[in-house]
Structure 1
Amino acid sequence: MTTEFPGGTGQAVGREPFPLRNRSVLVTGASRRAGIGFAIACTMASYGANLVLHHFRPHDRQQEWGADDLNTVVGGVRRHALPEASVVELGGDLADPAEPERLMNAAVNAAGHIDVLVCNHALTGEDGALGEITAQELDRHWAIDARSSILLAQAFAGQHDGRPGGSVVFMTSGQALGPLPGEVAYAAAKAALAGVTTTLADQLADRGIRVNTVNPGPVDTGYLTAEMWQLVEPMFPFGRYGRPEDPARLIAWLATDEAAWITGQIINTEGGFGRWRPRGQGQGA
């Protein structure tokens, strides 16, 4: 179905069922089926994209949930993909300043060209409040949460040949909307990505690349307990916590040509979390 807008360019406008067909996407931090990266990859795959999934297994093993089975992760993404599309995985420690360029080169070797970069990775775990934070923690979060994403964007731009569809999506957090108690280093690093978005978007526009940053809001990636939900439930107007597919839909759409006029934006997708009156206290009829 197509629609022609009055006063427009005269071009027919319609919805392509596979808007990322023949485009290749690198998603970092896509190693757990409960995670946002996996949901992004699955959604991109359902849009027709080829996928390169980045992971760093030692980090996953350090978490209480442990590392997922990579074959199952890749298979889960492949089930959403077109028969002709490729899905591959690549490991790498993005704390290493040389890793972003190496990862991008490996992704290009696997896919031929990377059209879309999604920097979903992050260092997990509370780092400390003011008075507790160390220089080491500040440096670790800067290296993994911010520096690596900027270097990945640089490597992405270096391999991009100007073809349509160039897109970079960073992931920030809600540090601009409310406090992140006990996470000074994480908040500072994620704020850096939001802060540099407009600068990078301006520079890369001449290369045909759009740059946007998404705050996914609180998303249950396997850590939410009944006690935690009881504490925060009144802050969610729709009566539920965020799910990985919520930010994934926005991020996948930002990679399509439907979002071709959107760049330099920091977009929050968190269901009104924390900024409306508690549930049950709305205006009466």
Structure 2
Amino acid sequence: MIKWAIVTGGSRGIGRAICRKLAEETPYKLLINYHSNHAAAEETLAEVKALGGDGEVIKFDVADKHSTLNALESWQKDHPDAIMEVVVNNAGITRDGLFMWMNSNDWNEVIQTSLNGFYHVTNFFIQGLLRNKYGRIVNITSVSGLKGTAGQVNYSAAKGAIVAATKALAQEVAKRNITVNAVAPGFIRSDMTGELNEAELKKLIPLGRFGEAEEVAELVNFLVSKKSSYITGEIININGGIYS
């Protein structure tokens, strides 16, 4: 039997950093999910292999239930010996704007990707985790989901819901040796923050800088390891002190 870890949105940014770290530090084969950028996903896989790891890329939109189920069912059929032990729900998008001008598409797309994406992927694998009586689920939320951020009512709502879902699911599955935790990054240097005014925003951060995707990956790596076996239902901030 081969043990696997899936990372949604694994082709770039924080997701890619998580894939690299898991390749370095864990025995898992990696299932690297991407939505549209096949070249970026293949780059991530090449980096994983260069670090001594192994894995595959898989294309589906976590926001789309049928796309997700079709892709995962097909993958599972092709890998009858696979045991999925780790689920990292990283995929997310932003559609920022003041709520008074926010259209329904911008609201729904963010909710569908961050919140429903968590449901679609985790629900697919949860019965297998329960049968095997072991698992690690790590959800990437955000400082916006904890304190709320003006101009991000949709994103704050989606990530805040992930916080609550993490705490609730952790209680349901703990007896089967499955932990469920969330990581809440602040300003992390990545594609998603590329257009922000870093020089001005870092003045708000006690540590005086943006974080690096690799720093988030280190925390995720700890949470998927056996070293974190007594931690569940927790939301761990990684934000340079901007909010705690």
The separation in 2 between residues aligned to 1:161 and 1:176, in whole angstroms, is: 28
222 and 265 in structure 1: CA distance in 2 versus 1, 3 angstrom threshold: same
1:70 maps onto 2:41 in alignment? yes
Q: How does 1:262-277 map to 2 (within 5 A)?
A: 262-273=231-242
- Letter matched to residue 37 of structure 1: G
Counterpart of 2:31 in structure 1 is: 52
Hey, which of these two has a bigger chunk of helix by percent? Answer: 2
CA displacement at 1:226 relative to structure 2 = 9.7
Counterpart of 1:105 in structure 2 is: 73
Q: Does the 8 A contact of 1:211 with 1:264 survive in 2?
A: yes
The separation in 2 between residues aligned to 1:176 and 1:223, in whole angstroms, is: 16
State the aligned residue count: 240
The separation in 1 between residues aligned to 2:28 and 2:4, in whole angstroms, is: 6
- With the length of structure 2 as denominator, give the TM-score of the two structures: 0.88
1:228 maps onto 2:208 in alignment? no
CA displacement at 1:146 relative to structure 2 = 0.1
1:209 to 167, 172, 178: 178
CA displacement at 1:136 relative to structure 2 = 2.7
The separation in 2 between residues aligned to 1:99 and 1:149, in whole angstroms, is: 14
Counterpart of 2:3 in structure 1 is: 23
272 and 98 in structure 1: CA distance in 2 versus 1, 3 angstrom threshold: same
Hey, which of these two has a bigger chunk of strand by percent? Answer: 2
- Letter matched to residue 20 of structure 2: C
Percent identity of equivalent pairs: 25
- Letter matched to residue 42 of structure 1: R
Counterpart of 1:183 in structure 2 is: 152
Structure 1, gaps ≥5 residues long? 1-21, 61-66, 276-285
1:197 to 166, 178, 194: 166
- Bigger radius of gyration: 1
Counterpart of 2:215 in structure 1 is: 246
Counterpart of 2:55 in structure 1 is: 87
1:39 maps onto 2:17 in alignment? yes
Q: Does the 8 A contact of 1:52 with 1:107 survive in 2?
A: no
Deviations 1:71-121 (A, max 9, x none): 322101111234xxx310000012212233334434544471110000100
The separation in 2 between residues aligned to 1:55 and 1:106, in whole angstroms, is: 16
CA displacement at 1:142 relative to structure 2 = 1.6
Counterpart of 2:85 in structure 1 is: 115
CA displacement at 1:122 relative to structure 2 = 0.6
- With the length of structure 1 as denominator, give the TM-score of the two structures: 0.76
136 and 72 in structure 1: CA distance in 2 versus 1, 3 angstrom threshold: closer
SS in 1 for 2:211: coil
100 and 222 in structure 1: CA distance in 2 versus 1, 3 angstrom threshold: closer
- Letter matched to residue 101 of structure 1: L
